[in-house]
Structure 1
Amino acid sequence: MIPYKTIIKIDRAGKQSVYIQLTNQFIDLIKERILPPRTKLPGSRTLADLIGLHRKTVIACYEELTLQGWIESIPKKGTFVHKDIPILQQQKWTKKAANKKDDKAGFTFKQNPILDRKFPQDYAEDYMYVNDGVSDERLTPIKELSIIYRKIANKKRTIKYMNYGTTYGNPELRETLVCYLNETRGLNITKDNILITRGSQMGMFLASQLLVENQDYIIVGETNYSSSDTTFEYANAKLLRVKVDENGLNTHDIEKLCKKYNIKAVYTTPHHHHPTTVTLCAKRRMHLLNLAKTYCFAILEDDYDYDFHYNHAPILPLASHDTCGNVIYVGSICKTVAPVFRVGYLIAPKTFVDECARLRRFVDRQGDAILELTFSNFIKEGSLDRHIKKVIKIYKARRDLFCKLLKEELSDYLSFEIPKGGMALWVTLNKKYSWDTVTEIAKQHKLIISEWQRYDVANTKHNAIRIGFSCYNDIEAREFVKRFKKTMQGIDIKESFS
């Protein structure tokens, strides 16, 4: 007879019900073939006496096992392990196998090398990271947002938003954003032209999935936002690259490509080109819009940091000048407030928005309606504008300090132009140095530069990367520059001995 008293262990202080603990242990015994098919189980009274449990607990266990199909009760004969349970094919049991995690799937699946990116690893808190230019989460208006969120959540009328809603996003936020974007960005849109997304990246993904068919051509900059490259390539697009200079994308090069290829879309970050930070000049903006009309391609405008301009007022987006329905405009509140709040938008002609909403249903059924209502109120109450005014002053001061420190301490190693806006610098390394070497030595000084190669996918050897300044306060900026200087001095010392 199976030594039930020895092999079954019950934790009476555990959170799991006793009958469930007993059920799970019986399932393990059946799976491991300690109790093979057709094995007769002891009666409920007998088993209860053996392991010191109440008979009702054993009965509840047997009922659960029967419902799950592990055992069957045969009238006048007893309870048996089900006769039709197949043998579970397992590797031979060893202590090593028992402790091994399932790192490798036991099935085949599609692995796309396009998605193979080397994102930053986790390091201790005393490490500093070179980032693309991100908002400082410490400046997030958490108290104000939490008050609005709590007020909305406590209202009876909010109950209706707890169920499934529209894939277009919360109607109130859509109405609020229509008014806000029309006023601040010179757009002329209605509620039918806007889809709420979980950040601008979702907008780009939806757009690329709908635009690209059978390796269509998309034009991007020679230097470009690497995540957009990945998004388009994942959609099976072919990328054609054009030069980027101090006036942004070279639209004359775009025109030449339009005469040679059937272009489906042009991706651009015209306000502050990513990664170089330059602004697309007025002449090229108008030229690009005319090309889109002539050659019937879409302009995917990613306005990721519209609010952050320091030298003068923000430049109106291409979407504000579009009269022919060629521009797909994506943006978000994530960069402005905090990345954790995944609230963005896609703006386009109604027919395209409708199709995006249909596709979105199978990507992400809907957004967080309560969070979206919170941001609707946050915008209507003027809190977003107040927050923007506050952080612009802070980020401008941080830009000025960061640029000053780099010029004073690292001018022998780096060169850059002071950006008119945004949250990052485009920094060129002296040609005698390599970012590969800098990256390696920087780790010794707890400074992490990850995946710098993504800034030169066209292999032009420009030797520049994007360095964010907005998340560093006065002390942190000085520490960052100090570590960078030690890195470069370390390279000089190393090369002098080689």
Structure 2
Amino acid sequence: MDSPVKIPYESFIKIDRKSETSIYLQIANQLVNAIQRGYLPLGTKLPGTRTFSEILDVHRNTAVAVYDELSAQGWTQSFPNKGTFVIGKDQDIPVKVKDFEENNLQQYPKITGFSFKTSNILDNPFEHSDCEYVFNDGIPDIRLTQIDQHSRFYSSILKRKSNQKALGHYNHDGSEFFKEHLSRYLNLSRGLPISKNNLLITRSTEMSIYIVSEILLSPGDIVLVGALSYFSVNMIFMKAGVRMIPISIDKDGIIVESVREACQKHRIRMLYLTPHHHYPTTVALSAQRRFELLELANEYGFVILEDDYDYEFHYDKSPILPLASADTNGMVIYIGSFGKSLAPGFRTGFIVAPENIMAEMRKYLGIIDRQGDILMERALGEMIEEGEINRYLKKSLKVYRERRDYLALLLHETLSDFITFEKPSGGLAIWMEWNVPVNLMQLSRNCSRDNLFIPKTLLYQNKGLTAMRIGFGDLDFREMEKSIDIFSKNLKLLI
């Protein structure tokens, strides 16, 4: 190759002398980048260290250090009386990844050279903050989970030689052992007369709904949802191109007569509902209305997509059994999450449906989650088999009931003149409505300045409603007291 001095090194090597990364490492990283991108092809002869130091205006010792680093990583090789050359990377030599600063990627394109579809529908609705105190819409407290014990289950399974084969191939159908025990668990806890053949294991409720939507919904279909409904699910439906019709909710859940009126006017494809604890208002759908909805589905032929949101968390009495437990005509698809009270990595989603549609669902799961997590599912199956799930849930329910009662007490003592709420029979959140005018967005901003973060996804405000959902699951008593104190103070300043 021609003289190495002619290569414009200064055009693709930029030195930041204020950076915490040493100069020699900055240069070495950028030379590696140049080799990978073909700016310095294999066989290129690099300048001598003295010449290289003059080109970049650095000390010769820095140039020597750069070449030593490239050689150590396997990018170059020096030959006596010939010089230093770019060579092929030896893939058998493990190389420690060095810190690589963003400003070293100056040559990478900032935008694509092609057009692509964008979607405002799928914009992330979730917000984050550095505030010390945070309200959410009701999540379990990770501090209550017995992570060490859960980890022992997983570690034990990972070490068994009999499970080694599971690591060597894909299995999107999931663990048969887990499905067998989960089907029994759902039979006992929810009255679902199912076998493992009626189960599809997914990563989350949202993945479950996405798969169902891909199979059952077409652009232009009509889906009935609660007038107030789960925003993530609404996003999935909107992406599917369906038309959503909101149905009113009262203290007994979704109003059946409104569903009937919609069926008389339109051809309804699906009804989505969270009957156990309606999201976001937390009300439970009455037993009578559940039977009436099943009759309507049989009469008009629409699918009921039943989401068992927060089914595990009930405090005052046994929960009403799902619609799916009384479905004899195959009109209900039941979705939910398992292990919500456990650490996040130990949770999974599931779909319960008749076997014919289950076969189609497995095709979609095989595309979007081909690998699955069979070892984690095995661990969950053993936790069911040994009664660990029931023991932990019983213990955590006692804590969550106490937290629900304490938050209700704090709200009553500090805000009863301004809000109305009912203590929920289950779930991990309280729904409250204002009986005085207040700007919720301004209230959220003021609380944030006082170190309490209230995401916009908890706020519900229109001409006829001013309401909010506050989760209590991950707040201990002290955190509740401080949060409600900040909240109350800022509320009273606005009224």
**TM-score scaled to structure 2, two decimals?**
0.82
1:166-245 residue pairs with structure 2 within 5 A?
Answer: 166-245=171-250
- Distance in 2 (CA, whole Å) between partners of 1:320 and 1:176 is 18
1:313 counterpart residue number: 318
| Deviation of 1:211 (Å) | 1.1
- Distance in 2 (CA, whole Å) between partners of 1:38 and 1:385 is 62
| Deviation of 1:365 (Å) | 1.2
**1:447 aligned residue (443, 446, 452):** 452
Change beyond 3 A, Cα 1:159–1:213: same
1:461 counterpart residue number: 464
2:54 counterpart residue number: none
**Residue 490 of structure 2 aligns to a residue in which SS?**
helix
| Deviation of 1:205 (Å) | 1.1
1:483 aligns with 2:486: yes
Change beyond 3 A, Cα 1:405–1:105: farther
1:360 aligns with 2:360: no
| Deviation of 1:118 (Å) | 3.5
Change beyond 3 A, Cα 1:43–1:405: closer
| Deviation of 1:431 (Å) | 3.1
2:127 counterpart residue number: 120
Please tell me the residue identity of whatever aligns with 1:486.
Answer: K
Please tell me the residue identity of whatever aligns with 2:331.
Answer: N
2:77 counterpart residue number: 57
- Distance in 1 (CA, whole Å) between partners of 2:147 and 2:418 is 40
**Are the equivalent residues in 2 in contact too, given 1:220–1:267 (CA < 8 A)?**
yes
**Are the equivalent residues in 2 in contact too, given 1:226–1:455 (CA < 8 A)?**
no
**Are the equivalent residues in 2 in contact too, given 1:169–1:196 (CA < 8 A)?**
yes
In the alignment, structure 1 segments of 5+ residues that lack a partner are: 68-94, 493-498
Q: Deviations over 1:297-329 (max 9, x none)?
A: 111111021121111012111111011111111
2:19 counterpart residue number: none
1:390 aligns with 2:395: yes
- Distance in 2 (CA, whole Å) between partners of 1:38 and 1:443 is 56
Change beyond 3 A, Cα 1:276–1:29: closer
**2:406 aligned residue (355, 377, 401):** 401
**Are the equivalent residues in 2 in contact too, given 1:22–1:61 (CA < 8 A)?**
no
Please tell me the residue identity of whatever aligns with 1:447.
Answer: L
1:250-399 residue pairs with structure 2 within 5 A?
Answer: 250-399=255-404
Q: Deviations over 1:203-231 (max 9, x none)?
A: 11111111111221110010111111111
2:476 counterpart residue number: 473
| Deviation of 1:141 (Å) | 1.8
Q: How many equivalent residue pairs?
A: 448
**Are the equivalent residues in 2 in contact too, given 1:249–1:280 (CA < 8 A)?**
yes
- Distance in 1 (CA, whole Å) between partners of 2:90 and 2:190 is 64
Change beyond 3 A, Cα 1:335–1:62: same
Q: Deviations over 1:61-116 (max 9, x none)?
A: 6552899xxxxxxxxxxxxxxxxxxxxxxxxxxx9997699665454221111112
1:418-457 residue pairs with structure 2 within 5 A?
Answer: 418-452=423-457, 455=460
**2:32 aligned residue (16, 21, 24):** 24
**Are the equivalent residues in 1 in contact too, given 2:4–2:46 (CA < 8 A)?**
no
Q: Deviations over 1:140-171 (max 9, x none)?
A: 12122111111111110010110234322211
**Are the equivalent residues in 2 in contact too, given 1:319–1:327 (CA < 8 A)?**
yes
Change beyond 3 A, Cα 1:5–1:454: same
Please tell me the residue identity of whatever aligns with 2:275.
Answer: P
Q: Deviations over 1:446-489 (max 9, x none)?
A: 11221247746xx5631112111111111111111111112113
**Are the equivalent residues in 1 in contact too, given 2:172–2:370 (CA < 8 A)?**
yes
- Distance in 2 (CA, whole Å) between partners of 1:4 and 1:118 is 52
- Distance in 2 (CA, whole Å) between partners of 1:485 and 1:359 is 48
RMSD (CA atoms) = 3.6
Greater mean alpha carbon deviation, residues 290-299 or residues 99-108: 99-108
2:18 counterpart residue number: none
**Residue 343 of structure 2 aligns to a residue in which SS?**
coil
**Residue 3 of structure 1 aligns to a residue in which SS?**
helix
**TM-score scaled to structure 1, two decimals?**
0.81
- Distance in 2 (CA, whole Å) between partners of 1:38 and 1:369 is 43
Change beyond 3 A, Cα 1:209–1:367: same
**Are the equivalent residues in 2 in contact too, given 1:417–1:425 (CA < 8 A)?**
yes
Change beyond 3 A, Cα 1:25–1:295: closer
- Distance in 2 (CA, whole Å) between partners of 1:152 and 1:39 is 49
Change beyond 3 A, Cα 1:219–1:454: farther
In the alignment, structure 2 segments of 5+ residues that lack a partner are: 14-21, 52-62, 92-101
Change beyond 3 A, Cα 1:214–1:489: closer
**Are the equivalent residues in 1 in contact too, given 2:421–2:430 (CA < 8 A)?**
yes
- Distance in 2 (CA, whole Å) between partners of 1:232 and 1:216 is 10
**Are the equivalent residues in 1 in contact too, given 2:459–2:467 (CA < 8 A)?**
no
